[in-house]
Structure 1
Amino acid sequence: MPPKLQEILDDLAMFPDRADRIEALIGLSKEYAHPSADEVPRTETARVPGCESEVFMVVRDGRFRFAVDNPQGVSAMALAVILDQGLESRPANVPDDLVYEVFGKELSMGKSLGLTNMVRMVREAAKAS
């Protein structure tokens, strides 16, 4: 696991209380910078399948770039920030249980599917590069 990703997970682990962790994740989501359509084209190949937050992903200059088009997609925005900062602009192994490690086991099926597919797309892009 990339050291920066481990550092982010360690920081989140300091919030065992669900409400505190949610506040920390909301804080991370506020760091999300919405890219333009030129930076992340809204194409079907870039669309994260099953994601309620209308998320698109491309790889630009070795970085995984996410566009979260639903302004209510706070969890997707937080995960986009975690993946961007944690992978340090290079493809790397992402833990199988990253979504649950970040958000906990209480996720709804819909939210879990979309967030897990964000991670899956990163893995597929890393394998292809």
Structure 2
Amino acid sequence: MSSYPPKLTELIEDFQSITDRTERAEALIEIADRFPGVRVPGHIAQKPYPEENHVTFCESDAYVWAIDNPDGTVKFYFDVLNPQGLSAMAMSVVLDEAYSNQPLDYAAALDTGWCSSCSGVRFRWARGRG
């Protein structure tokens, strides 16, 4: 797991330590509650969003933007149009916390296998391949 960023490693370890499915679901909801902090601001994009930012196969109608920072890092912003899309909202928060303000090649090297590392939580994005 050492190839993951520290914040992502911490999340995986936290989820693996929770054995109760209800507690895991509550933890997922707590993460999703931080979604407003990663939502795309109006000066970056306005609805209707461009198709190029649409996450293909996402059941929650998610969008993502990668904005270059002056220091050469990238800031990610997201929107999830389905108000029931808690898993997509939580995923957005996790990706922002782990990969925003890092060099683009850092995010490009993302190993998506971490989704299954949070076993016991049925992330809907894995099912929809989004």
Q: Same fold (TM over 0.5)?
A: yes
TM-score (norm 2): 0.74
Larger Rg: 2
TM-score (norm 1): 0.74
In percent, how many aligned pairs have the same letter?
30
Q: What residue identity is the alignment partner of 1:32? A: F
Q: Deviations over 1:56-82 (max 9, x none)?
A: 111023122111111111000000001
Q: Does 1:64 align with 2:76?
A: yes
Q: How does 1:3-82 map to 2 (within 5 A)?
A: 3-33=6-36, 34-40=39-45, 42-60=49-67, 61=69, 62-82=74-94
2:80 touches 2:88 (CA, 8 Å); kept in 1? Answer: yes
In the alignment, structure 2 segments of 5+ residues that lack a partner are none
Report which stretch shifted further, 84-93 or 98-107. 98-107
Quick one: structure 1 residues 103 and 70, their matched pair in 2 at CA, closer, same or farther if it must change by over 3 Å?
farther
Q: Deviations over 1:35-94 (max 9, x none)?
A: 345434511110001111111111023122111111111000000001111225214232
2:16 touches 2:119 (CA, 8 Å); kept in 1? Answer: no
Cα distance in 1, alignment partners of residues 117 and 85 from structure 2: 19
Alpha-carbon RMSD across the aligned residues, in angstroms, is 2.2
Cα distance in 2, alignment partners of residues 75 and 36 from structure 1: 21
In the alignment, structure 1 segments of 5+ residues that lack a partner are 118-129
1:4 touches 1:87 (CA, 8 Å); kept in 2? Answer: no
1:50 touches 1:113 (CA, 8 Å); kept in 2? Answer: no
| Aligned-partner SS, 1:72 | coil
Paired residues, number = 114
Q: How does 1:103-118 map to 2 (within 5 A)?
A: 104=120, 106-107=122-123, 111-114=125-128, 116-117=129-130
Partner of 2:110: 94
Quick one: structure 1 residues 107 and 75, their matched pair in 2 at CA, closer, same or farther if it must change by over 3 Å?
closer
